[in-house]
Amino acid sequence: MAGKFIGIGVGPGDPELITLKAVKALQTADIICIPKADVDKPSLAVTMIKPVLADRKVKPEMLELIFPMTKDDISNQELWDKNADVIAQKVNSGKAVVFITLGDPMFYSTFIYLYQSLQTGHPNVELEIIPGISAFNACATSAKIPIAEKDELVTVIPSDLNEKLVEEAAKYSDNLVFIKCAYRLKELIPTLKRSGFKKNSTIAIIRRCSMPNETVTVGRLCDMLNWDISEDYFTIAIVKKNCFINNSKGAVV
């Protein structure tokens, strides 16, 4: 009897932000796949699901899969296909296989590449995807800054988007979300100003959102020059073209 493959988004970092549907799948899975960039690096996603697995009488098999973060498309594709073969073999043996990923499985996630390899090489594998809370949504709540309201336009900017594309995108956006690249923001201030953002435009920088060591800094674009912004993979910035009144602090930020 064939099993099932389930891609699960475990949210931004706080185990309590994992959805009830994801918890149910984790508590019944035979195998949990753990994506890792390197065999020697610990998995943050595993740390997040430990409370969910604590009460299981029968512990699941923990299957580590390596997904190196490189731009070598050919080598990457070979690894994705190899990992897809491993998963397909487990599923076809009747196992319920879960793949955990930070945030949401369909938003800048390693799961997407694995999903595509399975669709191509093993189209008969039964598949389910359970959404998770994306980090930028959680960051907005931590900073108490809305990502969008009324008819505002939002643009999500990944880490490797060049300055010219950032400028062009910013021209037509009311709010910008910088994913994994907050450390670049100081150098992009002139670019944002050319695109219509002002010195008093609101900016929020959130590091390690919802984790025990979370930090949140909110202010104006002109203030950012005095901020110490470390190069941390788990840092997101939200920039609003207009200033926003943060009622929780009773001030305009």
* pLDDT tens, position by position, 106-131: 999 989 999 999 999 999 999 999 99
How many percent of the chain have pLDDT more than 70? 93
Which of residues 109 and 248 earns the better pLDDT score? 109
For residues 17 and 151, give the distance between their C-alpha atoms in angstroms, rounded to a whole number: 28
Q: Note the pLDDT tens digit of each residue in 154-165.
A: 999 987 789 999
For residues 229 and 186, give the distance between their C-alpha atoms in angstroms, rounded to a whole number: 9
Which of residues 144 and 228 earns the better pLDDT score? 144
For 72-81, 96-105, 184-193, which range has the lowest pLDDT when averaged over its residues? Answer: 72-81
Q: 49 pLDDT exceeds 50?
A: yes
Q: Where does the pLDDT of residue 183 fall: very low under 50, low under 70, confident under 90, or very high at 90 and above?
A: confident
For 24-28, 87-91, 184-188, which range has the lowest pLDDT when averaged over its residues? Answer: 184-188
Q: 39 pLDDT exceeds 90?
A: no
Beta-carbon neighbour count of residue 72 at 10 Å?
A: 10
- pLDDT at 251 (0 to 100): 35
| Domains defined for the chain, CATH in brackets | 4-130 (3.40.1010.10), 135-252 (3.30.950.10)
Torsion, Cα of 68, 71, 73, 74 (10° steps): -70
Q: Where does the pLDDT of residue 77 fall: very low under 50, low under 70, confident under 90, or very high at 90 and above?
A: confident
